[in-house]
Chain A
Amino acid sequence: MSTPDAPRSLAEALRACDDAAMVALLRARPDLLTPVPNDLSQLATRAGTRASVVRALERLDRFTQQVAEALAVASEPATYGELLGLVAGDGEPGEVRDALDRALATLRGQALVWGGEDRFRLVRTARELLAPTPQRPSPTGLGPTVGEAMAGMSPGRVQSLVSAAGLAATHDAVSAVEVLTALFTDRKRMAALLDEAPPASVEVLSRLVWGPPYGQVTAEPAAHLRWLIDRGLLLPTAPGTVVLPREVALHLRGGRAHRVLEATPPPVLAAREHRPQVVDSTAAGQAHMALATVEELLKDWDEGGPAVLRAGGLSVRDLKRTAVALDVPEPQAAFWVELAYAAGLLAADGETDERYAATPAYDTWQELPVAERWTRLATAWLVATRTPGLVGGRDSKERTLSALGPNLDRSAAPEVRVRVLELLAELPEGAAPDTESVLARLRWERPPGTSGSDLRARLAHWTLEEAELLGVTGRGALSAHGRALLAGGLEQPTPVHPGPGGGAAPYRPPTAAELAAAGKQATRLLTPLLPEPLDHVLLQADLTAVAPGPLRRPLADALAVLADIESKGGATVYRFTPGSVRRALDAGQSASDLHAFLTAHSRTPVPQPLAYLIDDVARKHGHLRIGAASAYVRCDDEGVLNEILADKRGEGLRLRRLAPTVLATPADPATLMEGLRSMGFAPSAESAEGDVLITRAHSHRTPPRTAPEPVPDGPPLPDATLIGAAVRAIRAGDLASTAPRKAAPTATPGELPRTAAAETLATMQAAVLTGETLWIGYVNAEGAASQRVIAPVRVEGGFVTAYDHTADEVRTYPLHRVTGVAELADDPS
């Protein structure tokens, strides 16, 4: 039933499709474009490569994957009817038909399926990947076909199977397989055959039917197994192993390739419904908190943040400290730090002693209106690939991942983030999703591969948590301003082949302009929700002040100096302590300033204990004064001091009166003394204890110096040990160079002895026995040659252990470094 102009290959099929389809293909599988293929056959080849096919298959939604899996177990090429049967089973296809059409369109669009109108061919690589083999069971849980399983079976065995199944004998194995296949695919005859089966056999079949289709049998199978094996309902694959043939399994399954068909995407369920106003205001409150937290973080780091680790990032200790300072758990602290980083508000300063600090952008950011500040953070968060959720975990090399450190980028992060928010946006306003249903939906849209950790699910979890922290969602539901972030500019291109039931379109990062537009919209929606900053506080007699809402910045800053913050949130509770009041006084405020400030900003009269506290601290503040002076003038006669102060000549001394009888100056005592003398006074110096120092005429002195060491002309005189050692060395060297040798005709004096390795060894061994002393040439590890006189003690393992007369100690020499050996003449002594 092939149509005459059906394409004969994928290349031909591609050749036949129009430009729009080609664009869609290349958009869906951008890897085909690098490098740009020369022609369509090259494109088709590349589209059939294993890596590319795997990538394409992984990005399909669950149902499309199931269709591809069904195609892989169908005949090649498969008809629509066969495929529909595999997908929907023997029953009524119903809605599945539409889903199947869409899935096939997607597969064709992605060049995974080609072929004529009713002749669907899965790309060969895909078929190989998806078809079941004994090594790699397919997700369908189906086994090999009868034909595959019976390949290589003896003809006699084949015939006995045919007759046991109640069929007429055939003349060859091929036709026997056909007969059996025909029987197994015929529902009626199969049903009749299975009706006769013993109950235990049916039980065995039902265990294998949904896979894995393999089972173990003993050498002497039990009767009920025997019954199945005899009729080919179980076919042996290897000794002791049987398999349920695909046709039988399909019969038992009612024709379906998948136990659970996931034709429609699982809906995202609403767990709770809140009034949209509640959601928006909760989110706005949280947005306000988020801003306060980021500001607090950067304020904490204002005068130099924590150091940058050598490998990059924040140390665990610094993160802990930050978490304590912000009063949040550590993972949250990591989130805030990363958020500020992603928004460009903090960075490493690049100095030699590198630290983190706020960027100049932070100062401009702070000047922005509140809502806009939030939008900056939210948009930065939305598109960031950095993933704070990973902080504290370990990477593939078992290194701890630190906040602000390397290896925190996950390219899937923005995609999942946007998708999760889109799913939230599909719910009615004010509905908080059931997390599990969101995850199920994401899993359907992009089934996790076989690789254990489901990064996308974790990303989705983090997205939900972070969106709540940031105030994009409130009480779990997407807020109006959060919705604006998505809708304002992030309209994704409509997919050419829309996924069934609104599957996700491929993700495309938003452009800067789109983000800005979205941000603007969000800012507009958020602004009215944020509380108006207040200009007053409530003062209480227990020395606390409560700001029942956010305060205007100058007021908040001033209060933060004057009082300690006890509790934060929608309101702020301040506590006045002597320490905090002193801090304000130190900052240059006077007690009356503070009274005026509190009266101006308090809705209630200033409680008396508070006024008293301020006065009390102010009374003592500055009571003691501390300064630095280098010299002083002391005189019991105030008149003389007046005279000195009045004298114009003394101006250079910068004298200042500390008390009626004391003047102080930053000049040093000698200058002061000199100056006063020149003015005609006769001061005398005073010691630290107050005694008069009696000085004679000026004798100039250097600072303490040590006397010079004598520098002798020649080398220093050696001591006895040195001399002894030198003598020994000289003697030994002399012995080595001048000792008369017995058999070293070739060796001229001063040259190293050279002998063959065997001879060297033999001489050494002989010397061990006789206790003779030898003269050797030796090259050390650095290549320096020397001559030594040794008395070998032991020769073994390529080493000679000997008493070295030259060094006067026992040493070990590798034989291969000994250039040669010569016997010494008998010691003259």
Chain B
Amino acid sequence: MNGPLIVQSDKTLLLEVDHEQADACRRAIAPFAELERAPEHIHTYRLTPLGLWNARAAGHDAEQVVDALVEYSRYPVPHALLVDVAETMARYGRLTLSKHPTHGLVLTSTDRPVLEEILRSKKVQPLVGARVDPDTVAVHPSERGQIKQTLLKLGWPAEDLAGYVDGEAHAIDLDETGWALRPYQRQAVENFWHGGSGVVVLPCGAGKTLVGAGAMAEAKATTLILVTNTVSARQWKHELVKRTSLTEDEIGEYSGTKKEIRPVTIATYQVLTTRRKGVYPHLELFDSRDWGLILYDEVHLLPAPVFKFTADLQARRRLGLTATLVREDGRESDVFSLIGPKRFDAPWKEIEAQGYIAPADCVEVRVNLTDSERLAYATAEAEEKYRFCATTATKRKVTEALVRKHAGQQTLVIGQYIDQLDELGEHLDAPVIKGETTNAQREKLFGAFREGEISVLVVSKVANFSIDLPEATVAIQVSGTFGSRQEEAQRLGRVLRPKADGHEARFYSVVARDTIDQDFAAHRQRFLAEQGYAYRILDADAVLAEDA
């Protein structure tokens, strides 16, 4: 009894990473337990019904789960927990969704009382049609996603055997000359393809685009790619042309400016959710071709209308890509039920250890407000408080000092408030990219940054995601969207592309001490801290003293 795992009665699993059996244990529990936190010594996994059902869907049974827990556990596993695991897993598969030769989509049960129970639910009633026989009920094909989501909430997940439509075939191949899919990317593609639909979670900079391309090469069908913004759309197009057999003409862009529909179409969330006279005119895009695969980039940002529409797309393969599946609105489970379960997840530090993302040094720089600022802060209105402390003048000085310290390295200064950024841009003599900057201008500036013509770039939250800036080495965050954990992670992601010389990336977060800025910062850092990024704390005075 000296295993690496401690099973807690609250269904968390603590894995001691320095233990010799830690790797074996991780492999054994990964199929059914969700990695929740991965700090330096003890990783926390959690057993959730969803995780257990996904394991069932992937062909694992309760016996395997129990064996894995018992085998690696240091202390006896609470019996109640084992019973609960068995009971939870036994709930999966009592209901199946399948294609019936005459009745179309049907919901079948091997356990009649369960069928009776769920049919009695008010939420299920509008989704089902006539009773075919005592164990079978017809389901409106358009409600396939909805009923799966509802059944999941009722605790009786349905096994979806209705399959996928192949979609319009279109030859796509990876063009692996001079490069190859990394092992974890290949694994991610494989897991996804085997599972049918789902979400792949990879750290920023770990090459999610290539996982997408890999999936397309497996599907060999027309593909709809949904991305966050136009710049990102262009990057996708560029990358696909470079890495696959697709040519420029086969890839269309569907955005505010262009409305091309081609075998592979890249659309932005923004254009899809544009609303005119109460309707979403561009949602037709989903039906404009017989898509064989739908790719959701940065799936943690999926807007609500797309959620709703995705529910109707259950017959098509769906792949979600993200680095940080944390939503401050708590809708993670909707992502899982509509797009699909998590098919692949890699701890950031693991990918870092393999050398595919740059190691990063995260530093929180604490800035003292001056006495007059403190007084002003104390009297500021509640809603103005964050803005006030986040844009304090002292931060500017510290930022300048930091930029000077890293002179010669490609540096991004990232912030929330335009005034602050404009001011910083002026003092640093650096261009500013913000919401009103035109796409052409943005691309030009990013290009110049990539080429090294500009070494400092001040950006607003428009650059939070999907902007590929491989050379950025230093990021300085001066303010953010309150306590958003995923934003912090995404911003760190901007500097995680492996550097040619194996150089370490730097991520500074400048925070005003003893204000809500510090509280928000603590919350923002949680995700990364749980991924094992230990923040160092520096006093601004030390930075300034060094500078002087």
Contacts and interface: CB of A to CB of B under 8 A. Distances in A.
A780 interface: no
Contact of A570 (B39, B42, B74, B513): B74
Contacts of A399: none
A572 to B, nearest CB: 9
A332 to B, nearest CB: 9
B375 interface: no
Contact of A546 (B42, B79, B82): B42
Given A475-B82, A541-B40, A282 B76 contact: yes
B334 interface: no
A544 interface: yes
B75 A531 contact: yes
Contact of B8 (A282, A570, A612): A570
Contacts of A278: 70, 76
A284 B41 contact: no
Interface stretch (B186-194, B254-262, B444-452, B531-539): B531-539
Interface residues of B, number: 37
B209 interface: no
Interface in B497-544: 513-514, 526, 529-530, 532-537
B77 interface: yes
A286 B6 contact: no
A542 B529 contact: yes
Contacts of A282: 76-77, 79
Contact of A474 (B12, B76, B526): B76
Interface in A524-546: 531, 538, 540-544, 546
B76 A285 contact: yes
B164 to A, nearest CB: 40
Contacts of A608: 534, 536-537
Contacts of A612: 537
Interface in B56-111: 70, 73-80, 82
B7 interface: yes
Contacts of B9: 289, 327, 568-569
A459 to B, nearest CB: 20
B6 A570 contact: yes
Interface string A603-633: 0100111001000100010000000000000
B219 to A, nearest CB: 39
Interface string A277-296: 01001111110010000000
A544 B79 contact: no
A372 interface: no
Contact of B79 (A476, A543, A571): A476
B297 interface: no
Nearest to B10: A567
A286 B74 contact: no
Interface residues of A, number: 36
Nearest to A612: B537
A370 to B, nearest CB: 14
B536 to A, nearest CB: 6
Interface in A317-339: 327
A609 B78 CA distance: 34
A569 B10 contact: yes
B543 to A, nearest CB: 15
A540 B74 contact: no
A540 B79 contact: no
Contacts of A542: 37, 39, 526, 529-530, 534
Interface in A582-608: 604, 607-608
A541 B529 contact: yes
B415 to A, nearest CB: 23
Given A468-B79, A540-B39, A571 B529 contact: no
A286 B44 contact: no
Nearest to B70: A278
A192 to B, nearest CB: 49
B382 interface: no
Contacts of B78: 285-286, 289, 569
B527 to A, nearest CB: 10
B166 to A, nearest CB: 45
Given A538-B41, A608-B534, A609-B535, A548 B74 contact: yes
A549 interface: yes
Interface in A753-769: none
Nearest to A603: B41
A369 to B, nearest CB: 19
A615 to B, nearest CB: 10
A417 B40 CA distance: 48
Shortest 7 CB-CB contacts between residues of A and residues of B: A285-B76, A569-B8, A541-B534, A570-B75, A542-B529, A282-B76, A540-B39
Given A327-B9, A541-B39, A548-B14, 9 more contacts: A278-B76, A281-B76, A289-B9, A474-B76, A549-B75, A569-B6, A570-B74, A573-B8, A573-B12
26 contacts: A278-B70, A282-B79, A283-B76, A285-B75, A285-B77, A285-B78, A475-B79, A538-B16, A540-B39, A540-B40, A540-B41, A541-B533, A541-B534, A544-B37, A546-B41, A546-B42, A549-B74, A567-B12, A569-B75, A569-B78, A570-B73, A571-B8, A571-B75, A573-B8, A608-B537, A609-B534
Interface of A: 278, 281-286, 289, 327, 468, 474-476, 531, 538, 540-544, 546, 548-549, 567-571, 573, 604, 607-609, 612, 616, 620
Interface of B: 1, 6-10, 12, 14, 16, 37, 39-42, 44, 70, 73-80, 82, 364, 513-514, 526, 529-530, 532-537
